[in-house]
A and B are shown apart, each in its own frame.
Chain A
Amino acid sequence: MPELKFDKTKCANCNVVNCLVKCQYIDLDKDKAKEEWQKVINGQDSFVLKACVTCYACEEYCPFGNHPLYLIVERQEEKGILPQPRPITKQAINMTTSQGKFLVGKPEKTALSFCAIPRLYTLAVGKLFEDVLPSWIMGTEFFCQAMFLHFARMSVIKENLPKVIDNIWNQGIREVIFLHDECYGTFTKLAPAYNIDVPLKSIHYLEYLYHKLKERQKMIKPLNIKVAYHRNCSARLVPETDHFVDDIFGLIGVERVKREYDHENALCCGGLLMTSIGYDAGHDVQKRNIDDMVKFGAEYCVFNCPACWDPLAEKVARRGIKPIHIIDLCKLAIGEKQAVEVTV
């Protein structure tokens, strides 16, 4: 099994312990954080392991890129701590098990990966994708596995990820445009952290969209709208891509409202908290998040992650804010239709 390349010396020399001090779900000062983190490193019992909701934020907070989340998940699994209920974990494993039922378009050297998320297939249509379609792949054979970070099942990721990489390679694909942060993060961050070789070039879809919009700049009619950006947990795996959100918004005439719960202080969609902790925890973050959108006058809530859409989109819409995926937002700017909507 691949092993995590974790550099203890970076943590030993760390003076900020941001992984825990900045955590939105754990309240620790620096000294106590250092103490608890050392326990995690040593494989000792720490309340942190049970309190962690796997929001991924520590990956972004760590100034050294030392992957605190991966270590936490490793330790949770070692100690049998379940961030999610047991039957939900079982269901997640069942639903992502390869069954030879994958779908492909006409894969070429460059392909879109819809992972195992059919809604991405629905979204990725129109002129912005005409240069690459019908080269696409979808199904559990191409499922990036990072979701199992939420389930403390690093063993599943480590076992399956090399097969997924082979499956993509065997389609003749050499460059993959990933339409989900979690996929891009898996291939560009998680795999290297475990010395898993990725012979493919990974492209983040926001970067791809930005360039395609630039190429079609004449088609763009500025939307002139104010939006709240709902920043998803998996964006924490790849914070270096966040500027593409602003770059795209700049091109299409969209104002990203400067609200409290964006960027490093973004809040979870609440879906995981509802299932792992309970109603109050999930509802609290959803309410704070949406109240914040309303307070700052957002007309749209822009989503990046399809999984956040499900627990949040209807609730956003009921508060009078239009939910939209960022791919659909780009399509609106060039006169195309929104593919995924909610009705309430």
Chain B
Amino acid sequence: MTDIYEALVKIVGKDYASNNHEECYFYGRDPGLMAPHEADYVVMPRTTEEVQEIVKLANKEKVPIVPKGAGLALTGLVIPLKGGIVMDMKRMDKILEVNESARYVVVEGGVTHGALREYLNEHHPNLRNSLPESPPITTIAANVVIHGQGRLTNQYGFNSDMVNGLEVVLPTGEVCKIGSCSVGPYWFSKGPPLPDLSGLFLGWLGTTGILTEVGLKLYPKKKIKDLEILVTDNEDLVPDIIFRITHTEMVEDLAIWAQERPLMFRGNYHISIFLTADSEGELEMKRKMIYDSVQKYVDSRDAGFMTMNLDMRRDFMDNPQKSMTAFADVRRGGGFEYAGPIIPMELYPECARKVAELAIKYRVVYGGSGRIIHGGHCMMFSFAYTFNRADQDEMGRARKALHEAAEFVADKGGVLWKPNIDEQKIMMERMDPNTLKLMTSIKKFLDPNGIMNPGNWEAK
């Protein structure tokens, strides 16, 4: 049997491979509530060729391999459930190409959303990426693999919908191009007019291959940003309010949130409406259309636009938002995790009530927030609960609240987003058997030795 550590050192050099307990301990956990499991090895490749060599090694030795970006999904998706190698992608941090006229970028598999934003600000100030509300160290590749969302999701869909092509190292070690880049130099499409093979990798949580390059759509960056927040105390009105607002097609992003702290927010549902424009005239036209769309509810006194001082408005417009850090009280050892199912808008009222009900039942602090996806076809609803990391009992209660939330939403017909292994089971139990069989066949075909992020999307 090969000495795995020595083989890894041979591929990436001794500075970038480790089997030290301290490092394996660190790579055995994420910031959420899932139980840790220590890695056996950690490796940081720099090139696609190195990734290839590592995967070939793992496949030959049948050693599990878990690709990792920033590890911020919070649902344990980068915890090496069966040990093996954790492949930290951060060294693959090159922005390879920006095609300004076709509005796309090609990045290596470890490039972060924050780095891309800064690069675009400096070199292509008229373009922007859809930055998630997670910390800016979130990697683009990991974000699209979990169907992440960002500030442009209301306009353009999941961040994975913005993928324009992929380079993937398959579990057997071959490198494969997906999309227009497979037949020519351009990365303008992940599939059409070819068969769209990106679906073999997006949403699979790293169980079907490792993304070493990602083509990503970029979008116009407007000169002016603004925000309005509509507030209602009746959750049953939210779906219709969202329907009216999205009908205007004037909104960059739409988020709904309710939380019990600080006190000023208690008892209300807040709809953050993000606007962008290139001129005062454009901005005011959009603002007027938004206001007019919900005038019915202002007249009935059921909803109103909140006044904000400029500092508060600036904080609310931050992207990513810092509010979750404050919500979880991270600086004093707090944490939070959320179950984030994708639901149709009509389920919002029930979810909004459930998140508060579970908080009372399990004595935890809640935040319930949602993001509208692609003009209102669906939304992500976050059942978020905070916990004190030094309080095992509270962590346990938060875990139970999240599990119950996941069961509740799945029973209602929602789909669990970036599900942890328990939630994956909830999904697979409810899945059409033939769909599950197809998924299992695809996975087996691509990863015959079951080395890729094992434990995830595993049907019994």
Contacts and interface: CB of A to CB of B under 8 A. Distances in A.
Which 6 pairs across A and B sit closest by C-beta, in order of nearness? A85-B304, A279-B291, A95-B264, A88-B304, A87-B233, A87-B231
Given A275-B304, A275-B306, A306-B309, 8 more contacts: A85-B297, A85-B302, A86-B304, A87-B269, A272-B307, A275-B298, A276-B298, A342-B310
B291 A278 contact: yes
Contacts of B304: 84-88, 275-276
A83 to B, nearest CB: 9
Contacts of B303: 85, 87
A87 B303 CA distance: 6
Contacts of B292: 278-279
Contacts of B267: 87, 90, 94
A99 interface: yes
Contacts of A311: 307
Given A82-B301, A87-B268, A97-B263, A275 B307 contact: yes
A274 B305 contact: yes
Given A88-B306, A279-B287, A94 B298 contact: no
Interface string A81-118: 01011111011001101010000000000000000000
A343 to B, nearest CB: 10
A86 B292 CA distance: 18
Interface in A261-299: 271-272, 274-280, 283
A313 interface: yes
A338 to B, nearest CB: 14
- How big is the A interface, by class? 20 to 34
A278 B231 contact: no
B307 A310 contact: yes
A314 interface: yes
B454 to A, nearest CB: 49
Contact of A91 (B280, B297, B298, B306): B306
B298 A278 contact: yes
Contacts of A86: 233, 301-302, 304
B266 interface: yes
A119 interface: yes
A85 B301 contact: yes
Contacts of A279: 287-288, 291-292
Nearest to B288: A279
B288 A283 contact: yes
Nearest to B289: A279
A310 B264 contact: no
Given A85-B302, A274-B291, A280-B288, A91 B264 contact: yes
A307 B307 contact: yes
A318 interface: yes
Nearest to A84: B304
Contacts of A99: 263
Interface string A52-85: 0000000000000000000000000000001011
Interface of A: 82, 84-88, 90-91, 94-95, 97, 99, 119, 271-272, 274-280, 283, 306-307, 309-311, 313-315, 318, 342, 344
Interface of B: 224, 231-233, 263-269, 280, 284, 287-288, 291-292, 295, 297-299, 301-311, 313
A314 B311 CA distance: 12
A43 B280 CA distance: 45
Nearest to A140: B263
16 contacts: A82-B301, A85-B302, A85-B303, A86-B233, A86-B304, A87-B231, A87-B269, A87-B304, A91-B264, A91-B306, A94-B265, A94-B267, A99-B263, A310-B313, A313-B310, A318-B280
Contacts of B301: 82, 84-86
Nearest to B267: A90
A191 to B, nearest CB: 26
Q: Find the residue from B224, B306, B313 having the highest chain A CB count within 10 A.
A: B306
A288 to B, nearest CB: 14
B310 A314 contact: yes
B268 A90 contact: yes
Contacts of A90: 233, 267-268
B285 to A, nearest CB: 11
A82 B297 CA distance: 13
Given A94-B266, A342-B310, A275 B288 contact: no
B308 A310 contact: yes
A278 B310 CA distance: 20
A344 B226 CA distance: 11
A271 B310 CA distance: 13
Nearest to B299: A278
Contacts of B295: 278
A87 B280 CA distance: 29
B291 A91 contact: no
Nearest to A319: B280
B73 to A, nearest CB: 33
Nearest to A307: B307
A342 B311 CA distance: 10
Contacts of B298: 85, 275-278
A277 B305 CA distance: 10
B231 A119 contact: no
B87 to A, nearest CB: 44
B275 to A, nearest CB: 13
A276 B269 CA distance: 18
Contacts of A272: 307
Nearest to A286: B284
